Structure 1
Amino acid sequence: MRKIVLLTGIMGGFGKKILDTFIKDNYFVIGTYAKNARKAKELVGRYTSKNLEIYQMDQRNLENVSRVTQKIILDYPVIDVLILNAGITRDSFIFNMTENNWSEVIDTNLLGAIQVAKNIFPVMRRNKFGRIIIMSSVSGVYGREGQVNYSLSKGGLIGLSQLLGSMVDLNEDIIVNTLAPGMIKTEMLDMSNQKNVNQFLKACCAKRVGDTSDVAELTRFLASKSNCYSQNTLFQIDGGFMKC
């Protein structure tokens, strides 16, 4: 039987690569996106209805998140894999951040993700199987002065992963892990300050930015039944950032 994966943030750099990787592995992917329905339809056009279905969901709006995830559960009572990937940045120095800078990032990256997990986790417990992969960031591990809101939201996701993992009973084959990518070649990196990129490269053993395939391949393993012993683990995909 085909496994079903729910992937939030399907339109971003990570989302598109993870989508492609999982469809090639014969998963059925349920994807969510926040806006730009035209581009979402273009993305769907690359696949078939046998491989992919998408739902529009604004993670800044918890009522909308709850309504959409409940609709997904009605349509797909068994969800094998949950990948909490949706996220945005609104970078600025802490004293220059507006209230909107804070609320948009915290609501989207953290509170929206918690709401999705709150609805999907009981489904996995009922089915006694699931793989949950939460996309954090090295910014959530080490913190960055120019993106305190983003660092806070991503650090909170690490806490969410630890909480969910600790709630799993012995008779439930549910594994929860967190990924913390460093600088990966995506549209988000293209918007980064070159000074920040150079600082990352200086502190990175690999001396290069990562590729979305690096993230997608590890996500694929963590979603598989072969991953049965890495509960509550934080995987850094950062080229050895801060280790040299």
Structure 2
Amino acid sequence: MNRLKDKVAVVTGGARGIGKCICELFVDEGARVVAIDIMALNYEKENVEGYAADLCSPGEVDKFVDYVLKKYGKIDILINNAGITRDALIEKMSDEMWDAVINVNLKAVFNLTRRVYPSMRENKSGSIVNISSVVGEYGNIGQSNYAASKAGIIGLTKSWAKEFSRKGDAIRVNAVAPGYANTEMMATVPETVLESIREKTMLKRLAEPSEIAYAVLFLASGESSYVTGHVLSVNGGLRL
């Protein structure tokens, strides 16, 4: 199918894992994709372009958005996917650990969305999908910084869904809250911990990145044209 035919999509954190899977799926669905990450990106598929920038820097965000609009003329879809973890119990969590996670996971989303929104407003349409987490919904031991950032994403999503549509514009804002998936971020997690997660999950397994990507595709496409301000939990029935 070509559910995103002729659409221009920006995907953050597109170098690996769920972000890369989203990029490849969107291209298969007919979109032209610009994947942005802190590192240089290379893709084998056509119609996906890599761009290296620091989304925590408003100046670099301005340059990036100007580049995309000049080259492609519009931004139809924005996927705020980039995220990091710096886990520790509160008494061992440094200021640097807290600031790094809040800056990448939350402030960068604000920086980019603030800059992309005016072009969507001009076109009176757009779809923004923010990637939250099951941890943002339920919390988790040793992840107070990550949980706060992902809970913040839910707050931004609901606020922007109201704000961006208040003049009748068809700009939708939704979030996907994934559970634990088979990505590089999970590669260092001990098997005993992974087994505990599986046991707490109704489907008794981790997600594949493609399963998260398909949920994002639904919210990005016209198939969800009457959905906004929603948080879609894709966690296999996990309860922390």
TM-score norm. by structure 2 comes to 0.92
**Residue 193 to residue 140, structure 1, CA distance change in 2 (3 Å):** farther
Superimposed CA distance per residue, residues 127-178 of structure 1 (whole angstroms, 9 cap, x where no aligned partner): 0110111000001111112111111111111111011101113531111110
Shift of 1:83: 0.3
Unaligned 5+ segments in structure 2 are: none
1:187 is aligned, of 139, 164, 184, to 184
DSSP-derived class of the 1:192 partner: coil
Match of 1:202 in 2: 199
- Kindly report which structure 2 residues correspond to 1:1-244, keeping only aligned pairs within 5 A, or say none: 2-35=6-39, 37=40, 40=41, 43-44=42-43, 46-48=44-46, 51-167=47-163, 168-169=165-166, 171-242=168-239
Q: Does 66-75 or 131-140 show the bigger shift?
A: 66-75
Superimposed CA distance per residue, residues 33-52 of structure 1 (whole angstroms, 9 cap, x where no aligned partner): 102x3xx2xx33x023xx02
Instruction: Report the Cα distance in structure 1 between the residues aligned to 2:147 and 2:192, rounded to whole angstroms.
Output: 18
Aligned length: 235
Note if contact 2:24-2:45 (Cα within 8 Å) is conserved in structure 1. Answer: no
Note if contact 1:176-1:231 (Cα within 8 Å) is conserved in structure 2. Answer: yes
**Residue 29 to residue 159, structure 1, CA distance change in 2 (3 Å):** same
Q: Does 78-87 or 196-205 show the bigger shift?
A: 196-205
Q: In structure 2, what residue type is equivalent to 1:4?
A: V
Note if contact 1:60-1:104 (Cα within 8 Å) is conserved in structure 2. Answer: no
Percent identity reads 33
Instruction: Report the Cα distance in structure 2 between the residues aligned to 1:149 and 1:63, rounded to whole angstroms.
Output: 25
Note if contact 2:68-2:74 (Cα within 8 Å) is conserved in structure 1. Answer: no
Shift of 1:196: 3.4
TM-score norm. by structure 1 comes to 0.91
Unaligned 5+ segments in structure 1 are: none
Note if contact 1:204-1:242 (Cα within 8 Å) is conserved in structure 2. Answer: yes
Instruction: Report the Cα distance in structure 2 between the residues aligned to 1:59 and 1:198, rounded to whole angstroms.
Output: 34
